[in-house]
């Protein structure tokens, strides 16, 4: 009887993780470039009450199915669903969205690189294109303080004009980074990811080349969270949690019946 208590408790723990994941998605419904998460579960090991294939008689008959009792469930992984978010027009010249595959590469204060889909960039005091936290975009691109009409085409080339000069000047080339396994990236907060041994080495290239998306100036990528889907999943997880708790209640009542035997 105690086995059912343990099994149901693993179910409650799993659904608690499920609800936490869904809550995180809902909390990031308006986070630029956010990709929704999905919890995946696996059944635990089994106990053999009667092993399949064992001999059931001296004449060679074998047990066709056996009897196994499962020990519950565990969280196997929490995946990011890398769906393209809706592109929202902002009109800001330094708001950039990636349509397709690719991450912007960011230089962190410790000298390491991070990667993001959040293209809400600004200019620093020296004209460098930086994130909302002041981390520079890599490769480093600087715009003169007297520049006008900053334009960034789909291939990532950054141009500007100067007052009184009709010809555009090239400031630099934005590059994108992809990975063999994007789910292997480690989230560090601030809309940033870092590479891991699971993600593979970064693959760097120009936008609109094979394997890379395109740049959309004046747009940002909205969160890929669907409110209806998340609420539906939340209700399902809540009901699953309740059913596991009822299993514990039923097991407790059965134990109480045993203890009351005279």
For 82-133, the pLDDT digits (tens) are 999 999 999 899 999 999 999 999 999 999 999 999 999 999 999 999 999 9
Answer with the residue of higher pLDDT: 64 or 107: 107
pLDDT-based confidence at 64, cuts 50/70/90? confident
Torsion of CA 191, 197, 200, 206, to 10 degrees: 40
Distance CA 192, CA 259 (A): 56
| pTM of the entire predicted model | 0.87
Find the DSSP H helices in the chain: 2-27, 227-259
pLDDT-based confidence at 182, cuts 50/70/90? very high
How many alpha carbons fall within 13 Å on the CB side of residue 15? 20
Q: Is the dihedral of CA 133, 100, 31, 74 positive or negative?
A: negative
Per-residue model confidence (pLDDT) at position 59: 67
Per-residue model confidence (pLDDT) at position 246: 94
Per-residue model confidence (pLDDT) at position 139: 94
Per-residue model confidence (pLDDT) at position 53: 67
Per-residue model confidence (pLDDT) at position 21: 97
Region 212-226: mean pLDDT is 96
Pair 72, 7: CB distance under 8 Å: yes
Determine the longest span between alpha carbons in the chain, in angstroms: 102
* Angle between helix 2-27 and helix 227-259 axes, rounded to 10 deg: 160
pLDDT-based confidence at 7, cuts 50/70/90? very high
């Amino acid at each position: 009887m105690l086995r059912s208590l343990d099994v149901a408790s693993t179910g409650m723990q799993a659904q608690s993780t499920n609800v936490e994941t869904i809550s995180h998605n809902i909390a990031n419904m308006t986070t630029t470039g956010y990709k929704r998460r999905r919890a995946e579960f696996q059944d635990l090991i089994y106990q053999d009450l009667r092993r399949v294939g064992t001999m059931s008689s001296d004449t060679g008959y074998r047990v066709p199915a056996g009897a196994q009792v499962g020990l519950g469930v565990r969280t196997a992984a929490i995946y990011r669903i890398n769906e393209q978010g809706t592109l929202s027009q902002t009109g800001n010249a330094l708001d950039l969205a990636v349509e397709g595959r690719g991450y912007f590469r960011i230089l962190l204060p410790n000298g390491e690189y991070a990667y993001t889909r959040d293209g809400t960039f600004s200019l620093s005091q020296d004209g460098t294109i930086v994130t909302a936290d002041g981390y520079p975009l890599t490769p480093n691109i600087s715009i003169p303080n007297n520049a006008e009409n900053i334009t960034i085409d789909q291939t990532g080339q950054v141009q500007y004009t100067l007052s009184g000069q009709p010809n555009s000047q090239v400031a630099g080339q934005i590059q994108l980074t992809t990975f063999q396994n994007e789910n292997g990236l480690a989230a560090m907060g601030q809309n940033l990811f870092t590479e891991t041994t699971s993600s593979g080495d970064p693959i760097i290239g120009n936008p609109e080349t094979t394997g890379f998306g395109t740049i959309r100036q004046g747009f940002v990528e909205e969160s890929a969270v669907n409110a209806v889907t998340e609420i539906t999943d939340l209700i399902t997880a809540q009901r699953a949690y309740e059913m596991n708790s009822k299993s514990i209640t039923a097991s407790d009542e059965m134990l109480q019946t045993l203890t009351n035997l005279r």
